[in-house]
Chain A
Amino acid sequence: MTSVTSAPVPARVVLNQADIDRALTRIAHEILEANKGSKDLVLLGIPRRGYPLALRLAQKIAAADPTVDAAAIVGQLDVTMFRDDLSHQPTRPPYPTQLPRTGIDNKVVVLIDDVLYSGRTIRAALDAIIDLGRPRIVRLAVLIDRGHRELPIRADHVGKNLPTSSAEKVRVRLEETDTAPDGSSVNEVVIEGGA
């Protein structure tokens, strides 16, 4: 027996609940600053984890600017049908797309996702948006930017830049969508695998 069993690399927590909260607070203020206020602002979360992040950002924007109704500026944008890997991946059931009542025409749309990686999801999201209307500006806010872009896409607002190797996995767990293995609620970002 010469095989050496390497111990699995333990998952490393890179953002905990308080870190996520601080990052989102900063992004919320950045969004307001870049937009010079809350006028025409629409936040579109990409399922699954972009949507709860969009809801949290809307709460923080409403806290900073009392004229904003948090529920009225948030929507969900499903990009499943616009992906370029549909014929290479297992079939994904689509999620609902819900736009704010005001629509997105001539609005400042901020796309929200959890992890920016290849950029292909955002490419699909841009196509999906064009079929729904014509926003004045589209911006992108992500919790994690882990690099390894395959398309000329960048984020306007980033929670944390995380240099990773492509062998690693970045997992975002939010209490709205995930539960810890022991069943308790979680809010964390972890890196798994890699060397």
Chain B
Amino acid sequence: MKHLLSTEDLSLANAIRILDTAEEMAAVGDREVKKLPALRGRTVVNLFFEDSTRTRISFEAAAKRLSADVINFAAKGSSVSKGESLKDTAQTLAAMGADAVVIRHWASGAPHRLAATDWIDAAVINAGDGTHEHPTQALLDAFTMRRHWAKLGGTGSIGADLAGMRVAIAGDVLHSRVARSNVWLLRTLGAEVTLVAPPTLLPIGVEQWPCKVSYDMDETLERGVDAVMMLRVQGERMNASFFPSTREYSRRWGFDDNRLRALDRLGLKDTIIMHPGPMNRGLEISAAAADSPRSTVLSQVKNGVSVRMAALYLLLSGDTREPAATPTKESN
């Protein structure tokens, strides 16, 4: 594993390895000295071409807890606004000796471009590219679910996958890189995914994805579900009328107080409500749902640091070969 670009091509072994390592990293957050010397002398560049609060801060906290040096780069206020290309920016960073580049870009595929070219010889971590993927978000969601279910089952979470778990991902799937990354990763981990969205907010070709599709939120809840992941309605990408009004969206696809009560009525006492943030309270999720004991929003943020520490550690320490591809030595 040299880069972390997508969850679609992440093998089960590597996914479990990241989650298990994150489990050990989480323990560091509870210690008196919240710092490990593992990446001392390494430089991590946060290259953000798009606004972000929690992802950038989370990566920064993760890199600092591993003792790496962090350089933050935001496109606003940099030479990018003077028209500098991605290539020139990357080569500048390479000349400064970056060991890892955490990139968020509005163009799908920008991290792949950075990883596939010789512009920069650093580990590339995709922190969200266009409407393509956001792998660390999917990993932290999986980590949160795995911990929750391990706690319910009274078993340890180390080495476990998510086989048989029913996850509903609801909302703006069309624009959501979080939904895409989650669909691929949850498939790899063996969970059963249902996308719930109005037909206008589902991408073309969604029937090819390894998941079920529903247009009806209540019906999905009634069939039973272990986790409901609400997606943000992305106002900044709403360039067409995807739904008639926000009230209608909220009533049909939002997680409102009625649906929160419905979970109790249906006897789904262990179902959790997830949201990658930032939340539009009152639109896709009601305040009562967001603040209920079922909500994992804040533990998702906390787990994000652990998962990103694990990703940085595994990519930047040592000799980073695919563990799955064990060399088959041919003797002749």
> Are A95 and B24 in contact, with the CB atoms below 8 A?
yes
Q: Could you say which of B23, B27, B317 contacts A86, with CB atoms under 8 Å apart?
A: B317
Q: Which secondary structure characterizes the binding site on chain B?
A: loop
Q: Could you say which of A78, A91, A96, A131 contacts B31, with CB atoms under 8 Å apart?
A: A131
CB of B314 within 8 Å of the partner chain: yes
Smallest CB-CB separation from A89: which chain B residue?
B318
Could you tell me how many residues of chain B have their Cβ less than 8 Å away from some Cβ of chain A?
22
CB of B36 within 8 Å of the partner chain: yes
CB of B38 within 8 Å of the partner chain: yes
Q: Shortest CB–CB separation between residue A97 and chain B, in angstroms?
A: 6
> Are A90 and B319 in contact, with the CB atoms below 8 A?
yes
CB of B321 within 8 Å of the partner chain: yes
Smallest CB-CB separation from B317: which chain A residue?
A86
Chain B residue numbers with a CB within 8 Å of A131 are: 31-33, 35-36
Encoded as 1 (CB less than 8 Å from any A CB) or 0, chain B from 20 to 41 comes to: 1101110100011101111000
> Are B27 and A91 in contact, with the CB atoms below 8 A?
no
Smallest CB-CB separation from A92: which chain B residue?
B318
Smallest CB-CB separation from B37: which chain A residue?
A82
Smallest CB-CB separation from B24: which chain A residue?
A94
Instruction: Evaluate whether A96 and B27 lie within 8 angstroms (CB atoms) in the complex, with A88-B318, A90-B319 already known.
Output: yes
CB of A81 within 8 Å of the partner chain: yes
> Are B36 and A82 in contact, with the CB atoms below 8 A?
yes
Interface size class of A (residues with CB under 8 A): 20 to 34
Encoded as 1 (CB less than 8 Å from any B CB) or 0, chain A from 53 to 90 comes to: 00000000000000000000000001011100011111
Chain B residue numbers with a CB within 8 Å of A78 are: 24
> Are B32 and A133 in contact, with the CB atoms below 8 A?
yes
CB of B78 within 8 Å of the partner chain: no
Encoded as 1 (CB less than 8 Å from any B CB) or 0, chain A from 81 to 120 comes to: 1100011111111111100000000000000000000000
CB of B320 within 8 Å of the partner chain: yes
Chain B residue numbers with a CB within 8 Å of A97 are: 24, 27
CB of B17 within 8 Å of the partner chain: yes
> Are B320 and A93 in contact, with the CB atoms below 8 A?
no
> Are B37 and A81 in contact, with the CB atoms below 8 A?
yes
Footprint of B on A, CB under 8 Å?
78, 80-82, 86-97, 127, 131-133
List 8 tightest A-B contacts by C-beta distance, closest first: A131-B33, A81-B36, A81-B38, A94-B24, A91-B318, A86-B317, A90-B319, A89-B318
Q: A91-B318, A96-B23 are in contact. List 6 more A-B contacts (CB 8 A).
A: A81-B36, A81-B66, A86-B38, A92-B318, A131-B32, A132-B33
Footprint of A on B, CB under 8 Å?
17, 20-21, 23-25, 27, 31-33, 35-38, 66, 313-314, 317-321
A-B contact pairs, 15 of them (CB 8 A): A78-B24, A81-B36, A81-B37, A82-B36, A82-B37, A82-B38, A88-B319, A89-B319, A90-B319, A91-B314, A91-B317, A94-B21, A97-B27, A131-B32, A132-B33
